[in-house]
Amino acid sequence: MYMRISILIVLGLLSAGLLAAEGQQSAATCELVADFSKPAGKIRPLNGVNNGPFAAGDHTADMNARHKEAAFPSVRLHDCHWPHPDVVDIPSIFPLFHADADNPKNYVFGPTDRYLAPIAERGAEIVYRLGVSIEHKPAFHTQPPADFEKWAKICVNVIKHYNDGWADGKHYGIRYFEIWNEPDIGPRMWTGTPQQYFDLYRVAVTAIKAYNPALKVGGQVARVKGKYTKPFLAYCRDNKLPLDFFSWHRYSDSPTNLVNHAVEMRALLDEYGFKTTESLCTEWRPMIENFDNVYWEQGTPAGSIRAAFARNRNHESAAFSASALMQMQDVPLDRAHYYTADDSPWSMFDEFGEPGKVFFAFKAFNMFLQTTNRVTVTGAPGGDGITACCGIADDGKSAGLLLSNYRGKNADLQITLKDSPLSGEVKVERFIVDETHECAPMDPLTLDAATRILRLNLPPATVVYVRLSLNKTVR
């Protein structure tokens, strides 16, 4: 009896050991080469975001300081103060549509002035969406304006206020003005017909260009392959309308889908004759684990919705974001804006202004941007696996490596720095974003002086920034 029990215990322990061994993912070797003799252009600051910092009260974190820390280069304004927008939107600034559009007293600029101030003071490029925020249920403001000409006049006066001081205004020099948002997704954003949106764009772009032809005006869709995209481009082409930029959105669980849409959008713009029109992805973010189907209904387990949103700002989403920022470097895309960097559920921050791991991936990318001259890196599979970029500073005295493993296997990286201008004693710093680290400095790495090889481990759902700086001489 005792022998039988002992045998069962031994078998159980052996079984548990085998299961534990299977659960420990062994690291595969991945050999990368950063070739400094092959420049690959400038690293592009595609780390823009939607919306500015908020200050709900003394119980919230200082998001303004975080925005400065990440140095987001461009801020697109949409769904500001959602779900109760009282800024930016035309109905918020001009609440009584029947009032005289030429009378400054009929405008409420104060809240939007306050909202834009920290963004403008930081020097970020502003993309101002002229229109309304999304309204899930019910929709009060997503119907077409009652008078397109008057709506366009109101938009021009908003521009005059923020660029030319009208109505005790500002001189922010905003260049980008986007007409509406996602008219192709239905009543949450637009209750009118495609033709009505096209006509609204025509009236608005004509009025804005008449006021200041140097301003950039663009149309907008949610889906590159949606029912509005080709007809809108054809309408602008056939009516010879200006289209300085065209913006689109992509939410996905794979960076590949994002970069593919950038390529497809550029091809469509070229096909319809808009070869100089800028392509802007004004909303992108990870949507992990079929997030489109995450919604509340009777019987939904308590906390499950909160957990789903939290996952989409955690270390896995951080690795997605870093991979996307690097992979977008190789596609025809002029600007990109993560959705969002405010206090909404979709933000990289939580409702109290505390940053999630996605924020720290953006911080790491900003650190990488300091070595702005990109060099060719080979050996990284990209996609959902390991993505790598390398850059060197203008003075040749420092270099940076940004590495991300979204969903690839645990990997031991061997990185050869070929023809590196850094010679002599090189300081190698390492910063990690993962489940337990927030772009935290780790033990420094060693660069093999003879082989010029760096070695480090890169598990899944991990971002690593490596900074190499010259201590002595430059070759």
Delimit the domains of the chain by residue range.
25-41+372-470, 44-368
pLDDT at 472: 54
Mean pLDDT computed over every residue of the chain: 91
pLDDT digits (tens, 9 = 90+) for 143-186: 999 999 999 999 999 999 999 999 999 999 999 999 999 999 99
Residue with tokens 């202004």: 353
Across 70-79, 211-220, 304-313, 345-354, least confident range: 304-313
CATH number of this structure's domain 44-368: 3.20.20.80
Mean pLDDT of 315-324: 98
pLDDT at 15: 38
Mean pLDDT of 96-114: 98
Residue 137 binned pLDDT confidence (cut-offs 50, 70, 90) = confident
pLDDT digits (tens, 9 = 90+) for 399-409: 999 999 999 99
pLDDT digits (tens, 9 = 90+) for 36-69: 999 999 999 999 999 999 877 778 889 999 999 9
pLDDT at 389: 98
pLDDT surpassing 80 at residue 361: yes
pLDDT surpassing 50 at residue 23: no
pLDDT surpassing 60 at residue 14: no
pLDDT at 292: 63
- State which fold the 25-41+372-470 domain adopts: Immunoglobulin-like (2.60.40)
pLDDT at 293: 66
Residue 12 binned pLDDT confidence (cut-offs 50, 70, 90) = very low
pLDDT at 474: 40
pLDDT at 250: 97
Residue 301 binned pLDDT confidence (cut-offs 50, 70, 90) = confident
Higher pLDDT, 424 or 150: 150
pLDDT at 27: 83
Mean pLDDT of 451-469: 96
pLDDT surpassing 60 at residue 10: no
Mean pLDDT of 412-422: 95
pLDDT surpassing 50 at residue 16: no
Residue 290 binned pLDDT confidence (cut-offs 50, 70, 90) = low
